């Protein structure tokens, strides 16, 4: 089964990236050329792929697209991200991702610095007052050409079947639009690198948090800390965030349950640190331990 050559060419031009590798549907790096046939097989639903956005060029790293991943299934917040970009003159597209969340995509008219694309999307999150959990490209630069960064799974696998609910560009009411309609819209609204750089300049990097002295007392181990925790607290610690609940709120809920169970700040700190390592929240940040310190202080002040 084949598709129109012009449609394939338009899709490749929009989602092009690193050409010597691509990502598999299962999460691995395929160290083979990203050929026209690979793109074709993706769109026909035979072998869905992802593309690495960061390309070495002019002694720096460039990309022609970026996207932010809203993993909570919150369409209202996703629309607010898109609208914050629109207010700055950037046309963005919402895709319902393969899980419960959404991607917001932006396409440049020509290669743009990866750091500018990333910072522009971070600035949009700041304007929308919505925490940025996963911005692609995930790095501003890479140490060498031997590094690839992270790939993003592409939309429209098996593009002809619009009954497939996920991985289609959608409207505000979650109605999917056809691949050709999306390509028409995207090509008509490519964003100039100067616009991306201008918005990127508005991004304000977070200030490193200040450590707080909670007068921690020694606590031997996680089992010792867990022993006095209530049954509800142990369930939260064991199961993590429920569907449509983010990790920060669940960590806070666990912290409050620790306080209600009579744990001291040291015990609470150990439990929250362990949960954070398993759930993947603050420990991924540069100042993750200080974020846990701040959360412990907060729950003891408000519970």
CATH number of the domain located at residue range(s) 5-200 in this protein:
3.90.920
Over residues 94-102, the mean pLDDT reads: 89
User: Do 132 and 81 meet the contact criterion of CB atoms below 8 Å apart?
Assistant: no
pLDDT of residue 219: 60
Sign of torsion, CA 95 158 12 177? Answer: negative
pLDDT of residue 213: 54
Range list of H helices, the chain: 5-15, 36-43, 75-87, 114-128, 179-188, 193-200, 222-226, 231-239, 247-260, 265-279, 288-302
Over residues 172-185, the mean pLDDT reads: 95
Over residues 1-29, the mean pLDDT reads: 93
Task: Give residue-wise pLDDT tens across range 203-261.
Answer: 988 765 554 555 555 565 889 899 999 999 999 999 988 876 778 889 999 999 999 99
Over residues 166-189, the mean pLDDT reads: 95
DSSP SS3 for 168: strand
pLDDT of residue 286: 60
Chain-wide mean pLDDT for the chain?
A: 90
Read off the tokens for 117: 């694309």
In this predicted structure, the answer to whether residue 43 has a pLDDT above a threshold of 80 is yes
> CB-based burial of residue 23 (10 Å sphere; 0-12 exposed, 13-18 middle, 19+ buried)?
buried
Strand partners, 68: 104, 135
Domain ranges of the chain: 5-200, 222-302
Task: Give residue-wise pLDDT tens across range 51-88.
Answer: 999 999 999 999 999 999 998 778 999 999 999 999 99
In this predicted structure, the answer to whether residue 20 has a pLDDT above a threshold of 80 is yes
Q: Give the pTM.
A: 0.72
Over residues 153-162, the mean pLDDT reads: 94
Terminal alpha carbon distance of the chain: 62
| 248: nearest Cα among 210, 206, 292 | 292
Higher-scoring residue by pLDDT: 289, 35: 35
Phi, psi of 183 (to 5 degrees): -60, -40
What percentage of the chain exceeds 90 in pLDDT? 70
Higher-scoring residue by pLDDT: 221, 114: 114
pLDDT of residue 99: 75
Q: How many C-beta atoms surround the C-beta of residue 75 within 10 A? A: 17
Local confidence band at 280 (pLDDT 50, 70, 90 cut-offs): confident
């Amino acid at each position: 089964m084949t598709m129109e050559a012009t449609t394939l060419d338009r899709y490749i031009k929009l989602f092009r990236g690193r050409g010597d590798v691509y990502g598999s549907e299962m999460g691995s790096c395929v160290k083979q050329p990203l050929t026209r046939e690979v793109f074709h097989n993706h769109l026909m639903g035979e072998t869905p792929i992802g593309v690495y956005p960061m390309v070495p060029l002019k002694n720096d790293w460039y990309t022609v697209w970026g996207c932010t991943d809203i993993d909570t299934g919150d369409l209202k917040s996703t629309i607010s991200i898109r609208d914050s970009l629109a207010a700055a003159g950037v046309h963005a597209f919402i895709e319902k991702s393969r899980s419960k969340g959404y991607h917001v995509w932006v396409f440049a008219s020509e290669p743009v610095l990866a750091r500018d694309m990333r910072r522009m999307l971070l600035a949009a999150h700041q304007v929308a007052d919505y925490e940025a959990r996963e911005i692609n490209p995930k790095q501003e630069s890479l140490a060498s050409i031997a590094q690839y960064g992270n790939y993003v799974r592409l939309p429209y696998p098996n593009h002809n079947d619009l009954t497939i609910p996920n991985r289609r560009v959608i409207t505000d009411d979650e109605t999917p639009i056809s691949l050709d309609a999306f390509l028409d819209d995207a090509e008509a609204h490519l964003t100039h690198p100067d616009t991306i750089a201008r918005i990127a300049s508005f991004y304000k990097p977070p200030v490193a948090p200040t450590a707080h002295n909670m007068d921690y007392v020694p606590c031997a181990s996680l089992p010792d800390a867990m022993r006095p925790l209530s049954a509800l607290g142990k369930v939260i610690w064991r199961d993590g965030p429920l569907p449509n609940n983010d990790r920060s709120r669940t960590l806070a809920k666990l912290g409050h349950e620790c306080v209600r169970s009579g744990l001291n700040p040291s015990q609470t700190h150990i439990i929250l640190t362990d949960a954070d390592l398993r759930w993947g929240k603050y420990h991924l940040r540069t100042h993750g331990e200080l974020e846990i310190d701040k959360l412990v202080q907060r729950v003891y002040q408000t519970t």
